Structure 1
Amino acid sequence: MDSKAPDQAYHFHVMRRAIDLIDRGDEALPLDRLAGEMGMSAAHFQRLFSAWVGVSPKRYQQYLTLGHAKTLLANRFTTLEVADAAGLTGTGRLHDLFLRWEAMSPGEFARQGEGLTIYHGWFESPFGDTLAMGTDKGLCVLAFTEECGRDAAFDDLSGRWPRASHEHAPERIAAWVSAAFAGKGQASLHMIGAPFQIKVWEALLQVPTGHVTTYSEIAQAIGSPRAVRAVGTAVGRNPVSFLIPCHRALRKSGALGGYHWGLPVKRAMLAWESARAEV
């Protein structure tokens, strides 16, 4: 991983504490007070946030507020068109990152990973401790463990493909993980899911960085307008978080909805992307 990764994880931990502080009050905290609550000088706290996300702590607080999701929905809402599965190569861009997508056939999925070797490892990311898994074809898991812990995350994801052989070999997938968070290079994806889930995940790839959509729009995009609840379930089952941006799916009201790895992580991702989109 990039040498900056430990710093990124540290920044996330600080920001995660900032979310808790912001949620306790009814107004933005002055820089001196926020830094003091973190046990830091104002200058150090300002440098830390500016280096991580590119904006001041004051500006970043605006992105972390619970109302920010509604602002995104009002100003950066993306109406999805029907996803063209044949044209997915190149539509899932994250900055300069190029995603090559491959999905298991329904038959392969039904075999629950039988005959498949899945490599895994633990990595630092801008959003804290991260579990990554992948096959020889690409990443099949990015999971953020700050809220649920390593054991729960590993049991959850490995349990989805109980007949696969799981091998701790972070070096086999490290380049893809590094590309995912650096936003440069290529991160290949090997998606393992039911056909309906794959359709939903394909649609999520159409949502640009810094924008959001709704569960109902995704349902419309995949040709199942009444399947909003099923769409929400499929979004929550997305195994490759961040790269397949399930965090960009909101409720029609502008509420965040759920997030498999914890709402603080979802809020952090939306804030991080919004800030970078405006730098």
Structure 2
Amino acid sequence: MPPPNTIASEIDTYDRISDAITFIRQHHLEQPNLSTIAQHVNLSDYHFQRLFTQWAGISPKRFLQYLTLDYAKSRIDQSQNLLALTAESGLSSPGRLHDLFITLEAMSPGEYRAGGAGLNIRYGIHETPFGYCLIALTPRGICNIHFLPSADEQASQKQLQTDWPQAKIIRDQTATGNVCDQVFAASPSSPLALHLKGTNFQIQVWQALLRIPQGELTTYQTLATAMGKPTAARAIGNAVGRNPIAYLIPCHRVIRRTGELGGYRWGCDRKAAMLGWEASQIKE
């Protein structure tokens, strides 16, 4: 086995990180600290922290937090109370559980458990320059814009109910029609209010996307550097792919550094059409 502080070949790096991820997954309820995980893969704390962050795009601590959050979310409906859920998740106090939800899910454990209870979501299906789309609104702003293969009302309701399981879903073509006209206007007016549901990191990425001007492109790596997270291009790419508000949050303006379009949640042909349409608006 290589000496403890040696950063070896790419194969060795992959093996170490894979081993560390497996260890964290198996022991996340014990909340292992950095030293425990680093010792398991025979690295110093410093080298393990740097190697893991460089490879995964997030720190070991944040990776452990995501696993803990996923576990808490899977158990929140079965646990008797937040104190019991805290103990099950391996955390020392309900305050730590609350902070974990706020930091990574942008809502409290109670709000997550409610699943949108008491919230009215109005939606409509509209024709746009890029095909049919679902637009959904809460009193706080736009919560979803999804492109659709067809004007399938049942599938649209199912999508919203998955995202907001306890909310009341109401068809309102008039309200969403007015928003649709503003979203896809050739010359957009004032910014529209958004109701974003995601982790703090995802919301930071989506906010960064909003700063990309119409007609301009960026790369995942450039976006990561602009956010002050130059090693997190992979994690940022994942957050870009989870964007819940198509077109308005312009994830279509992010391409690969090779110049290729790259993937797009709603299809590469649609992405190309958007970029071409925006370019034509700038020229005019």
Task: Please classify the TM superposition score into its range, dividing by the shorter chain length.
Answer: 0.5 to 0.7
Alignment correspondent of 1:227: 232
Q: Residues 57-98 of structure 1: CA distance to partner in whole angstroms, max 9, x if unpaired?
A: xxxxxxxxxxxxxxxxxxxxxxxxxxxxxxxxxxxxxxxxxx
Q: Go from structure 1 to structure 2 and tell me whether the alpha carbon gap of 1:167 and 1:149 turns closer, same or farther (over 3 Å shift).
A: closer
Alignment correspondent of 1:212: 217
Alignment correspondent of 1:267: 272
Identity rate, percent: 41
State the secondary structure of the residue aligned to 2:195. strand
The question of whether the paired residues in 2 share the 8 Å contact of 1:119 and 1:166 is answered with: yes
| 1:217 alignment partner AA | T
Q: TM-score of the superposition, structure 1-length normalised?
A: 0.57
Kindly report which structure 2 residues correspond to 1:46-195, keeping only aligned pairs within 5 A, or say none. 105-107=106-108, 110-111=112-113, 112-146=115-149, 154-182=157-185, 183-186=187-190, 187-195=192-200
1:160 and 1:220 mapped to 2: Cα distance?
A: 31
State the secondary structure of the residue aligned to 1:176. helix
Alignment correspondent of 2:257: 252
2:200 and 2:126 mapped to 1: Cα distance?
A: 29
The question of whether the paired residues in 1 share the 8 Å contact of 2:160 and 2:169 is answered with: no
How far has the Cα of 1:206 moved from its partner?
A: 0.7
| 2:232 alignment partner AA | A
| 1:198 alignment partner AA | I
Task: Decide which structure has the larger Cα Rg and report it.
Answer: 2
The question of whether the paired residues in 1 share the 8 Å contact of 2:132 and 2:150 is answered with: no
Q: Go from structure 1 to structure 2 and tell me whether the alpha carbon gap of 1:110 and 1:225 turns closer, same or farther (over 3 Å shift).
A: farther
**Long gaps (5+) in structure 2:** 1-104
The question of whether the paired residues in 2 share the 8 Å contact of 1:118 and 1:167 is answered with: yes
2:230 and 2:107 mapped to 1: Cα distance?
A: 23
How far has the Cα of 1:129 moved from its partner?
A: 0.9
Q: Go from structure 1 to structure 2 and tell me whether the alpha carbon gap of 1:202 and 1:167 turns closer, same or farther (over 3 Å shift).
A: same
| 1:220 alignment partner AA | T
Name the count of aligned residue pairs: 176
2:231 and 2:152 mapped to 1: Cα distance?
A: 35
The question of whether the paired residues in 2 share the 8 Å contact of 1:147 and 1:261 is answered with: no
Q: Residues 91-144 of structure 1: CA distance to partner in whole angstroms, max 9, x if unpaired?
A: xxxxxxxxxxxxx94328734333322111111111111110010121111111
Q: TM-score of the superposition, structure 2-length normalised?
A: 0.56
Structure 1 residues 123-132 or 148-157, which shifts more?
A: 148-157
Q: Go from structure 1 to structure 2 and tell me whether the alpha carbon gap of 1:192 and 1:262 turns closer, same or farther (over 3 Å shift).
A: same
Larger helix percent: 2
Q: Residues 256-279 of structure 1: CA distance to partner in whole angstroms, max 9, x if unpaired?
A: 111111111101001111122122
State the secondary structure of the residue aligned to 2:262. coil
